[in-house]
Amino acid sequence: MDSEQLRAGLRDLALDLRWSWNHAADELWNRLDPELWALTHNAWVILQTVSQERLDTCLADAAFREKLEQTLRYYEHHNTRPHWFQTAHPDLAIKAVAYFSMEFMLSDALPIYSGGLGNVAGDQLKSASDLGVPVYGVGLLYQQGYFRQHIDADGHQEALYPYNDPTQLPISPLRQPNGEWLRVSIAVTGDVRLWLRTWEVRVGKARLFLLDSNDPANLPDFRGFTAELYGGGSETRLQQERILGIGGWRLLRALGLQPEVCHLNEGHAAFAVLERARDYMEENKQPFEVALAATRLGNLFTTHTPVEAGFDRFPPALMERRCRRYAEERLHIPFSQFMALGRLNPDDNIEPFNMAYLAIHGSGAVNGVSRLHGEVSRRLFQPLFPRWPEEELPIGYVTNGVHVPTWDSEAADHVWTAACGQDRWRGDLDEVSTALDAVPAADLWKMRTDSRRQLVAYVRTHLFRQLAGDGASADETGVAARLFDPDTLTIGFARRFATYKRPNLLLYDPDRLLRILTNPERPVQLVIAGKAHPADQQGQDMIRQWIQFIRHTAARQHAIFLADYDMQMTENLVRGVDVWLNTPRRPWEASGTSGMKVLVNGGLNLSELDGWWAEAYAPEVGWAIGDGKEHDSDPAWDRHEAEQLYALLENDVIPMFYNRDPSGIPAAWVERISESMSRLTPQFSANRVVREYVENHYVRRAKAYSERTSSSPAAVEDLVRWRKVVDEHWPRLRFGSLDVSSDGGQHLFKAQVFLDELDSAAVRVELYAEGEGGRPEVVEMRRGDPLVGAANAHSYCASVAANRPAADYTPRIVPYHPLASVPLECARILWYK
C-alpha cells in the first residue's frame, strides 16, 4: 500500500469502534501517542490530535506499516467471512433489524449514554456485529450527553456538561449521493420544520445512525432539543422521543432501508410504530387502522421499567400542542384516537399519554429483561388486559447479557484464549461452558492476582489525578501512591446512586463496616463509584455519606470513592475486583448488568436475589442476600438484610478468600471462580441474548410481518372490522346455565352461550384451569345445538380427564380471528361468573 492508502486505512480503523473491544490495533495508537492513548483509549482522538510530522514518521517506519497492513487485512477478513447468522440461518429473509434506543454505550469516545439502558443497547449492537446479524441502531447525538461528575471538598456532587465536539467524536456525517448532508425533518406548524442532521457510527459490521437537532436552519430552542440526555422537562423529552421515533424511521427510509423488524429498546422509541404505519399508509393507500394492523407484528417492544411510575407520560395539553397536527394531517385520524393509543381509558381526557402503552398497542411482541422482570411486567401491564390471567399475558422475557470481549481483562483473555480459542464469543457457545475445566487453579489465581494489581494501579492513578485537579498539596496527593494493597480482598460497588439501589446498605452500621475493613489479619478494601441524577437529592446525600465515612482516619486506607463514573472506569473495576456488590430492593432491579461484567474476569457476585441474579444464583457461584420475596421499602427489612450482608462477609466471603492451601492458593475461592466463569459467563453474555432475540423474536416478527403485509388488503381490513364488531357487541355477550357431570374418568361440561349479534366464528369458548407449575390448562369447547327460543345462542361442550376437581375449570369466551394475536390485538374476555 502507498502512503495515501495507509492514511485512509488508518482513518477507517479509527472510525470503526471495533477498537473498543478488539485490540488488534492498540499497538498503532500507542505508537502514535502513548500518553493520550493511556488516558483516553480513544483512537479517533489520537488521529485528530497527532501532528503531521509524527504521523509521517510512523508511516515511514517499516514495522508500523507492516502492523497497519496486517490489521487492515484482519479487519477485511473479519468483515467478509461468513458469521454465525449467515451460517445458522442461510435462508432467512431478514435484511435489516432497526434497533431504536435513547442511548448507546459503545465507548467513552462517544459519550451518549447514561447507564444500564445504553449498556444493553451498545453491547447488543457489538454482539450483532460479531454474529453477523444485520442490525441498524438508531439513536440521538447529544451535544452534551449525560453529565460528568465532580465531588467538591464537602462531598457534594457537582454536575458538569462538557460539549461533545462532533469533530472529536468517531462519527461521520451521512451524505446523499450528490454529497449533500442528509437531513430529515418533522413538521411543527405552518411552514416551520424541525430539521435533523444525521450521522453514522461504524460498530464493526453493524451501523448506528444518530440524529441531532443542532441544525442552523432550526429555531434556537429547537437546536437544543438534543442537548442533554435525560435533561430538561417534559417538552424536551417529548421532542427527543419524536425525533428518535419519527425522525429515526424517516432516516432509515431515506437510506433505502426497509427493516422487517423494528426493535424498541424501551418506550422512548414508541413513535416509530406510528411512523412505520404512516409509511405503509402512503405506500399502500390504506387508512391508519389498517396500516397499524398490517405493520405492528413486525415490531418488538422491550421494557426495562420495574415500577409503574417509571414509564414516560406526557400531559394531554402538551400532546395536543405537539402531536395534534401529526395525528390529523399525517396519520389522518382524530386526535382523540391518537391519544387512545397511549391511554388505559380512551375516554378519559385528563389521563396522560403513556409511551409504554403506545409501544404495546403498536407491537407484535413484548418482553422484559429477566425472568423476574417478565413477571413484574405482566403485573404492571395487567390493566391493559383486564380479567386476563397474569400468566397468559403476552409478555415474555429475554434476560440481558454483556458483550464479553468489551469487559474482559488482558489476563482473563489469555486464560480464555488458551482454553477455547479467539473466536469463542462469535458462535453458539456450545463448548465454552466446559472450556475452563482443564485450567489449573494456579493459572486462575494468577489471573486474579494480576487483575487486582492492575486495578490498584488504576485506583492510585485516578485518585492522584482527582486530588491534583482539586489543588491538593503534595502530601495529600502522596497518599494516592500508597493507597490499597494488591493482595487484599477488594470489593466493588459502582451503580447509579438511587434510593431503590440502596448504595448505603453497607453503611447501615458504620462501626461494624470499619471493623471488617480494618481487620489486621484479614483486611478488606472497598471501591465505590456512581452518579446520582442532578435532580435526585437523596441520591446525592448518599454519595456524601460515603465521602464522610471514607474520610474517617481509619477508613482512608481501605475505602475510596472514585468520582466521574464512566465506561473506562467500569472496565477497570469489573476486571479487578474480587467481589461485586449489588443491593437493590427486590423487584426494582429489572435486570442489572454490572455484576455480569465481572464473570469473565473471575470476579464473584454478592447480590440481592433480584434481576438477573435471581435466576443466576447458586451457592457454587457466589453469594446472595434476601429471601426471594418483596418487602417494598420496609426499614426493618433493610436492617435485616444489612445484618445478613455483614454476616456473609465476616463468616463466609472473607475467610474463604484468606484460607490458603500450602501453595498459597485459596482453593475453595478458586473453585468458586471456575464455576462462576464457566457456568455464568456464556449464559449472561450478549452473544446469547442476540441469538435468543434472533431465534425467538426477530425470525417470528419478520415472518408474521411478511405474512400480514403480503395478505390481501381486504384480509387486513377484515381484521380491523372484526375488532370493531367485537368491541361493539362484547358488552352484551353472556353465559346461561352450566351443567357439569363426571363419567368414566371424564368431567363433562355443557354451557349455554348467548352471542348477541356476534358471529360465532368471531369467538372461542374455552375451559380454563389455573396451571400446575405455571402453565394454565385451556381446552376449546365445541359448539353444539342452537338454544331453542333464543337468537344466536348455542350450547358449548367439552370433556377433560378427571385428574383434578371439576371445580378447577371455568368456561370463558375469548375473541378469535385467524389473523389476530389475542390478547395483544384484542384483550376482551368474558368469564362464567
- DSSP readout, 384-408? GSTTS-GGGSSEEE----B-HHHH-
pLDDT digits (tens, 9 = 90+) for 732-750: 999 999 999 998 899 999 9
pLDDT of amino acid 249: 98
Whether 146 and 228 have beta carbons less than 8 Å apart is answered as yes
Domain ranges of the chain: 3-80, 84-400+694-709, 404-413+437-684, 729-831
User: How confident is the model over 679-706, as a mean pLDDT?
Assistant: 96
Residue 486 pLDDT > 80: yes
Residue 480 clears pLDDT 90, i.e. is over it: no
In angstroms, rounded to a whole number, what is the distance separating the alpha carbons of residues 288 and 293? 8
The CATH number of the structural domain formed by 84-400+694-709 is 3.40.50.2000
| 423 — pLDDT class (breaks 50, 70, 90) | confident
Highest mean pLDDT (candidates 35-39, 446-450, 459-463): 446-450
Distance from C-alpha of 104 to C-alpha of 22, rounded to nearest angstrom:
18
What mean pLDDT do residues 716-726 have? 96
Residue 772 above 80 pLDDT?
no
State residue 160's pLDDT score.
Answer: 92
What confidence category does residue 440 fall into, taking pLDDT thresholds of 50, 70 and 90? very high
Identical fold at 84-400+694-709 and 404-413+437-684? yes
Q: Is 228 helix (H, G, I), strand (E, B) or coil?
A: strand
What local confidence, expressed as pLDDT, does residue 758 receive? 95
Give the pLDDT confidence score for residue 481 in this predicted structure: 86
- DSSP per-residue codes, 11-22: HHHHHBGGGGT-
**Single-letter amino acid code for the residue at 187:** A
Q: What is residue 175's predicted lDDT score, i.e. its pLDDT?
A: 96
pLDDT of residue 352: 97
Q: What pLDDT sits at residue 373?
A: 97
Higher pLDDT, 421 or 509: 509
Distances (CA, A) of 667 to 296, 447, 658, 670: 54, 14, 10, 5
Checking if the pLDDT of 81 tops 90, the result is no
- For residue 793, pLDDT beyond 90: yes
Look up the pTM and report it.
0.95
Confidence of residue 801 (pLDDT cuts 50, 70, 90): very high
Containing H/E element for 147? none
Percent of residues, the chain, with pLDDT higher than 90 = 85
Give the span between the Cα atoms of 626 and 45, in whole angstroms. 46
* pLDDT at residue 181, rounded to an integer: 96
pLDDT of 1 strictly over 80: no
Residue 774 has pLDDT above 80, yes or no: no
What is the per-residue pLDDT for 422? 83
CB 109 within 8 A of CB 43: yes
Which helix or strand (DSSP H or E) is residue 810 part of? strand 810-815
What digits encode the pLDDT tens for the residues 260-301? 999 999 999 999 999 999 999 999 999 999 999 999 999 999
Residue 560 pLDDT > 90, yes or no?
A: yes
The answer on pLDDT for 825 being more than 90 is yes
pLDDT at position 190 is 75
Per CATH, domain 729-831 is 2.60.40: yes
Work out the pLDDT band at 91, boundaries 50, 70, 90.
confident
What integer pLDDT is reported at residue 399 of this predicted model? Answer: 98
C-alpha cell at 77: 477478513
Superfamily of segment(s) 404-413+437-684: Glycogen Phosphorylase B; (3.40.50.2000)
Digit-coded pLDDT (tens) for 137-168: 999 999 998 999 999 988 999 999 999 999 89
C-alpha cell at 371: 425472568
Span 572-586, average pLDDT: 96
Q: Report pLDDT for 231.
A: 84
